[in-house]
Amino acid sequence: MRHPILIATLLAGGLTVSACAEKKTDAAVERAFQDINVIDESDLSDVMLTVADPNEAIDYFTRTLKQYPDRIDLRRGLARSLVRAKRNTEAVAAWTRVTQMEGATEDDKVDLADALIRAGEWDRAKTVLDSVPPTHETFKRYRLEAMVADAKKDWKRADSFYEIAVGLTTRPAGVLNNWGYSKLTRGDYAAAERLFGDAIRQDPTLFTAKNNLVLARGAQRNYSLPVIPMEQTERAQLLYTLALTAVKQGDTRIAKGLLQEAIDTHPQHFEEAVRSLRALETS
């Protein structure tokens, strides 16, 4: 008579164990899917920060932050996207919030300073950079320090920071170009020419440095093009820059020749050079 009771008990126990096992399996599956979602979300954030349209990225991070308002990585993503979109005032507010959150780093302060510079708030940017300990030695920190010193016309500190920044990156072309432009604005044309040349050697595609190099040479009344890599269209543009520099310094005869050479060199119709040449010939 006890067998039916025993069987029922065993069945009940088996069902209970089975139910528990099923719950554990469901929980494990749920956790696994949560992990997958986190990975997918991380990948999506990376995509948004690199290849996506910055305004689309802003929309993505704004939506996601409604679900996870305390996630600092999403706050950083929003702030970086605002910088990419050139929405500088909003970027300043976003980076300020990041620096006030738990888990904020010294890099976040540097990024805030970057946003402040883009927004034209140089004094506040200097205050933020001053709050970063000197032991935090990164390329971006010293590049921004150099820019702030430049804005203050503190040339000695600017040169020191530019030199440090160059030593902290494997791609110094941009900072060498900035340093050269700083020298150009001070009237140190020879030093500017050297730095622009260094920038071009590091990145032969950097047209801004090529144009600045021509400006530095023209300021010294050297109206010959430097021996640097250039395409035909770039050559025409650089000749045009030299011509305008010559005009500025009163060398109009040389300017006319450079303008004509720019027109002849350009593979298409060079409207700006044509207008400038006509203006010189009628003046």
- Looking at the domain covering 27-122, what would its CATH class be? mainly alpha
pLDDT reported for residue 26: 54
Domain ranges of the chain: 27-122, 137-220, 231-283
- Looking at the domain covering 137-220, what would its CATH class be? mainly alpha
Extract the tokens encoding 79.
């702030």
pLDDT reported for residue 128: 98
Worst-scoring range by mean pLDDT, 40-49, 89-98, 200-209?
40-49
Q: Tell me the mean pLDDT in the region 100-115.
A: 97
DSSP per-residue string spanning 221-273? T--SPPS----HHHHHHHHHHHHHHHHHTT-HHHHHHHHHHHHHHSSS--HHH
pLDDT reported for residue 5: 45
131, 144 contact by CB (below 8 A): no
| Domain 27-122 matches domain 137-220 at the CATH topology level | yes
Instruction: Indicate if the alpha-carbon torsion angle 178, 179, 182, 184 is positive or negative.
Output: negative
Give the tens place of pLDDT for each residue, 138-176. Answer: 999 999 999 999 999 999 999 999 999 999 999 999 999
For tokens 């032991």, name the residue: 135
Give the tens place of pLDDT for each residue, 251-268. Answer: 999 999 999 999 999 999
Extract the tokens encoding 194.
């050297």
Q: Helix H segments across the chain?
A: 2-50, 54-67, 72-84, 88-99, 106-118, 122-130, 139-151, 155-167, 173-186, 189-202, 207-219, 232-248, 252-265, 271-282
Whether residue 27 has pLDDT greater than 70: no
